[in-house]
Chain A
Amino acid sequence: MSDSIEVGGRTLATDEEGYLEQHSDWAPDVALAMAAIDDCELTDSHWAVINFLREYYEEYEIAPAVRILTKAIGKKLGKEYGNAKYLYDLYPQGPAKQACKYAGLPKPTGCV
């Protein structure tokens, strides 16, 4: 994988797996470009996840725990959507990783 992504005429630095090096480089078209690479079409539900991740990151400088994310999505989209299974349907590579990538967050590290 290349270590940058082209978005709307901008060349943005990424790590080996495509996560943005600079959180401040993010704009909605970055998420679209990353999703396009994975053949993933971003629906409103995908955006609900991305937006929540970004809000949480702004406040806490880290991605939320999976359980916090599922709870927040349940509140936003309805209780039946507030579970890990639904998030994995949206983001098959894992909500903590794939969605963080699209949201311009660094990849979660550790035993996760």
Chain B
Amino acid sequence: MSKKPDFRVPELNDSLEVPKVKDGTMAHSKPFISKPELNLALGYPEELIDNWQEVAINKLGDMVNNSRALRVYMDTCVKCGACTDKCHYFLGTGDKNNMPVARQDLLRSVYKRHYTLAGKYLPKLVGAEDLDEQMLDKWYTYYHQCSQCRRCSVYCPFGIDTSEVSMAARDIMQTIGKSQKYCTEIIGKVHKLGNNLGLPAPALADTLEGLEEDLLDDINVPVKLPLDVAGAEVLLVTPSADFFAEPHVDGLIGYAKVFHQAGISWTLSSHASEAANFGLFTGSMGNMQKIAIRIREAAQELGVKRIVFGECGHAWRVAYNHLDKLAGPFDFLDRRYPLPQHMVEVTHDLIEQGRLRLDRSANDAKRVTYHDSCNVARASRMGSKPGGQFSIPRDVINASCNYFYEMPRNTTKEATFCCGGGGGLLTDDLLELRVKGALPRMQALKQVNDKHHITHMAAICAICKSQFAKVLPYYGFEMDQIISLHQLVGDALVFSAEG
């Protein structure tokens, strides 16, 4: 942990408590506003334009005309209250506007004012509001306190998806010149250099070579991390955090070990050196597409047969739901394999086929729990069976270690809590929000830890891993208790000439 925080860290109890609803406890929490040149590079106005109200209202009109889903979300809410205590940011902060219904209402009230008859003539009666400076400020504040994790939508009887609402609001804001710096800076780097970090190809090559040397030193097996190898069977697209950060890099090493032992030729690409797609977070179809097309270009150029995604939650959400629409057709790939395929799925299939030998006892010093990353759990699937996104990672963990324990049921699988840093909020200017938003997951971790003395929590998302490495110490845990699922696999893998 860094310096003493200038906010109160929530306390962990015996179980999760729903806080009292308070007004404006997080009204001060806003991300840094984007710099003019970053906006410009993405085709947005440099700063808030003069006629922003008009443009924003027109944009909202276009959006509800083009997306029947968004219009239904705007029209349908009956204020039943089922969502109110389901958001991790509400549970961690108690702020009224972090109740999903209230967050939606910030956009809904403006929609009603301009696009419903009652709202036009009797605004007060139906909760319709003008889009004034105060409202725009609330949008900027509270649509950057939603990690687009979709937990609330699971409990909404109509399935209203706040993540779509928050994406729409962010898209409107960037259109009028009010973007968040963290996302515009990152998207700009992907367009320019191929990844969120801004890692140039020579640095990536050097990093991978270093890891190969380490691996040879550590296990005396010549496991490779190939880059830009034409003719490889698999293109692995993984978050650039896997090259840079801890504990991510041990996941990358795990993938490399699996490919090595299974005898599958694979490559990374310096052109598509990023799985993450922040275009999703800002609701920008154009940026999402531009980022996705890099993957297609790399796959074609390298002549691969399959595309596999590494451990990254929203990369998988975008790939699983949209890859073909955004960058297809992918008819040049081998149709015998699913597109896209998740690395965990690859490992799972290899284990089932008996092509990997895992020695669970290699992980006997670890007592493991698993954090379902929200974007994998609720915004996509995995494998060919319903619920595969829950069972496949667990099967792989159980094949890799002897001591695996679940967190409480209302905090896992489709009910999982976001790590607190998803949706484009993994930035230090939102640290208070991140720490408080992690409360429900930390509470669940404490509960499983009290019973089973957990040493490690595994995850399959770069954001989750970085977020937990940062926030675990605030709750009395150690930063290195978060690990990559493929670290468990890599540590248990038995190398042999026959496979």
Binding site for B on A (CB under 8 A): 16-17, 38, 60-62, 64-68, 71, 84, 88, 92-94, 96-98, 108-112
Q: Which residue of A lies closest to B313 (CB)?
A: A111
Inside 8 A of B480's CB, which chain A residues have their CB?
A: 84
Whether A17 and B206, one on each chain, are in contact in the complex, defined by CB atoms closer than 8 angstroms, is no
**Chain A binder among B57-65, B110-118, B189-197:** B189-197
Is residue B23 within 8 Å, beta carbon to beta carbon, of the partner chain? no
Taking chain B's interface residues, is the majority helix, strand, or loop, or is none over half, making it mixed?
A: helix
Is residue B240 within 8 Å, beta carbon to beta carbon, of the partner chain? yes
Complex interface bits, B407-431 against A, C-beta within 8 A gives 1, otherwise 0: 0000000000000000000101100
19 more CB-based (< 8 A) A-B contacts, given A93-B3, A109-B196, A110-B276: A17-B429, A60-B203, A62-B198, A64-B203, A64-B207, A65-B207, A65-B210, A65-B243, A66-B244, A67-B214, A67-B249, A84-B246, A96-B245, A110-B196, A110-B239, A111-B245, A111-B312, A111-B465, A112-B241
* Shortest Cβ gap from A94 to chain B (Å): 7
Whether A111 and B246, one on each chain, are in contact in the complex, defined by CB atoms closer than 8 angstroms, is no
Of the A-B pairs whose beta carbons lie under 8 Å apart in the complex, a sample of 8, sorted by A's number, is A38-B3, A64-B203, A65-B207, A65-B244, A65-B245, A94-B2, A110-B186, A111-B462
What range describes how many residues of B lie at the interface? 35 or more
Give the interface centre of A38, A67, A96, A97 by most chain B CB atoms within 10 Å. Answer: A67
Whether A112 and B197, one on each chain, are in contact in the complex, defined by CB atoms closer than 8 angstroms, is yes
Q: How many angstroms between the C-alpha atoms of A92 and B479 in the bound complex? A: 12
Whether B202 and A60, one on each chain, are in contact in the complex, defined by CB atoms closer than 8 angstroms, is yes
In-complex Cβ contact of B249 among A60, A62, A65 (8 A)? A65
In-complex Cβ contact of A71 among B210, B463, B470 (8 A)? B210
Q: How many angstroms between the C-alpha atoms of A87 and B241 in the bound complex? A: 18
Taking chain A's interface residues, is the majority helix, strand, or loop, or is none over half, making it mixed?
A: loop
Complex interface bits, B168-184 against A, C-beta within 8 A gives 1, otherwise 0: 00000000000000100
In-complex Cβ contact of A92 among B3, B462, B466 (8 A)? B3
Inside 8 A of B479's CB, which chain A residues have their CB?
A: 88
Give the interface centre of B32, B185, B244 by most chain A CB atoms within 10 Å. Answer: B244
Give the interface centre of A62, A94, A98 by most chain B CB atoms within 10 Å. Answer: A62
* Shortest Cβ gap from B253 to chain A (Å): 10
Is residue B49 within 8 Å, beta carbon to beta carbon, of the partner chain? no
